[in-house]
Amino acid sequence: MQHRRLWTSTLVAVVLAATAGLVALTRDTGDPEPAAAPAASTAPVRVVLPGRPGESAAVTGSDQVQAPDGSAYNGIDVAYAQMMIVHHRQAIVMADLAPGRAVNTGVTGIAARIKAGQGPEIVTLQAWLSDRGQPESDPAHDHATMPGMQADTAMTALAAATGADFDRLFVTMMTAHHRGAQQMAGDLVRGGTDQRLGEMANETAVEQVVEIRRMAELGIA
């Protein structure tokens, strides 16, 4: 329990720092209002705790289950793993567009870092779901409403852009995408019960704070 409190406190601090500190480093990207936390595939009993103004809602569930390895998880954990796979895949699609389109070497470097980091995370999340007999996806999930997900029209515009226009679009879109992932990680910490998944979410949030800062420092958004 002491270990779980440690990584929970760490992630909350990271997400709050990202929300408060990075605003000063980046311009307004026009992010949409945060989407509600995803519904779990196992239909848990869920409680939504509204946050204070400017904060996302906390979500919790009472459907705790024991995995074969003895660890505990719930529907919030399952939904996070399923939806983060889709979230990461979109980031990789965006990163794959950079070579041949971007002119700023900082953009191509960040894109390569994203692809190298999020690809293995997808594999880990897939294995986590498989080990617990859970499907990789849930048809009930509306992936378009996930925090930070970019619309099809925006993805088309990014693919059509080149040079400095691509660089600006990439930084703007990826910054919003990363902030969405941080929100999802925070929701998992407040509602999930799987310790390893929580640690992964912590690591993801920390990594994306670093990447958002690096994109801001490019000064091209």
CATH assignment at residue 176:
1.20.1260.10
pTM over 0.85: no
Count how many domains the chain has.
1
- Residue 188's domain spans which residues? 2-218
Indicate the pairing of strand 72-73 with strand 58-61: unpaired
The whole-angstrom separation of Cα 112 and Cα 166 is: 15
CB contact set of 113 (below 8 Å; sequence gap of 6+): 211
The CA distances from residue 29 to 25, 168, 173, 201, in Å, are: 12, 11, 8, 24
Tens digits of pLDDT across the chain (221 residues): 444 444 444 454 444 444 444 333 333 444 444 333 344 344 444 444 444 455 555 454 556 777 777 678 999 999 999 999 999 999 999 999 999 999 999 999 999 999 999 999 999 999 999 999 999 999 888 999 999 999 999 999 999 999 999 999 999 999 999 999 999 999 998 899 999 999 999 999 999 999 999 999 999 97
